[in-house]
Amino acid sequence: MTLDEMRNLSPDAIAAQDALLRKERFNLRFRKAMGEVENPMRLRVIRRELAQLKTIQNEKVRAGARESGSQGSTVKGQGKNRGRSK
């Protein structure tokens, strides 16, 4: 799945794809331990796709927070000075 296809998914579809990839990764890791894995590169591809899905999911959450108007306020400890006084 390409990044553009992932970005066009709904949040529910992203969660479903995440669950599907996690299940596949579990099965592949189990088969690898047994010595029965056909394509060991698939583990790397799955790990990368999971990371991409999480990144896109995080982008959508941050974009939603930005649209709701919480852009101007910062939480103590997260600003430039990180809670330290000058």
Q: Which residue has the higher pLDDT, 59 or 73?
A: 59
Contact 44, 50 (CB under 8 A): no
Residue 86 clears pLDDT 70, i.e. is over it: no
Q: Which residue has the higher pLDDT, 51 or 71?
A: 51
Structural domain 3-67, CATH architecture: Orthogonal Bundle (1.10)
Rounded CA separation 34/29 (Å): 9
Rounded CA separation 32/46 (Å): 14
The per-type count for the chain, helices as H runs and strands as E runs, is: 3, 0
Domain residue extents for the chain: 3-67
pTM of the predicted model over 0.85: no
Residue 74 clears pLDDT 60, i.e. is over it: no
Residues in the chain: 86
Residue-wise pLDDT for 23-62, tens only, equals 999 999 999 999 998 999 999 999 999 999 999 999 999 9
